[in-house]
Amino acid sequence: MKVAAIQMVSTPVRDENLAAAARLIDAAAAQGARLVSLPEYFCHFGWKETDKFQVAEAEGQGPIQDLLSAKAREHGIWLAGGSLPLKTPDPSKVTNTALMFDPQGRLVARYDKLHLFSFQDGERSLDESRTMVAGRQCVTVDTEVGRVGLSICYDVRFPELYRALGEVDLLLVPSAFTETTGRAHWELLLRARAVENQCYVLAAAQGGTHANGRRTFGHSMLVDPWGEVLATQALEEGVIIGEINAERLQSVRKMVPALRHRRLRSPAEFDL
């Protein structure tokens, strides 16, 4: 069954990004994808950290969520909305949230990013905790391509999150990795998560130089449960397509039954 990752170079203008996302979702659906994932911050890549407040929506309301619902329904696909800012009771903070819509356009899962990124290299300083509230729960959703585990970007550095999800067939990692960290760790981390969890990993990324000067690494990728990269795109916008094969999953799990050999187990959900 085909899945697709959409790569974007999002701008500070929400409506430009929504138009680009719509066009790329259409292209993925036309190629037969049954599940499509957008990248982190697909809807907005602002000049400064607080710009996201201008486009933040309440859950179930707003043009970003309206587009996702409409496109899922139009094409009859599972649509993972990368991430978008959702409002919180604190007007100075938002959540960085991944939403999953089913083929009828219904919102069926919400995941708020658990691990908030910070980075300093002497030239640039990023700290998501200044403007975001961290999530509190792990989330999985059953789809026609299998059980899907949700995560966002920096989460990929925390293997305990993926263990806590239990046995899944596909992990989503929508991201906006920096050029520096991406060059060093992106493929390594994605392949590691695929191998240790014996599942597919689909990572839709931001990839290029943005209006604010930030450079994101791109290299959207589909990795199979043996750690093989099935599809990738280096930079600029585009769509990568690949197959989720249930027989391949079972073959890998039978050959090396690591999931059955686990001695330390985590619950499917936890409260932090």
Q: pLDDT for 39-75, tens place per residue?
A: 999 999 998 888 999 999 999 999 999 999 999 999 9
- Phi-psi group of 15: left, alpha or beta (phi > 0 → left; psi -120 to 50 → alpha; rest → beta): alpha
Q: What's the pLDDT at 269?
A: 46
pTM, full prediction:
0.94
For residue 267, the tally of other CB atoms under 10 A from its CB is 9
Ranges of residues in the chain with a pLDDT under 70 are 121-125, 265-272
- Structural domains in the chain, sorted by start: 2-255 (3.60.110.10)
Which pLDDT score, from 0 to 100, does residue 267 have?
A: 52
Q: Which residues are catalytic?
A: 40, 113, 153
Contact, 21 vs 40, CB < 8 A? no
**For position 254, what pLDDT does the model report?**
96
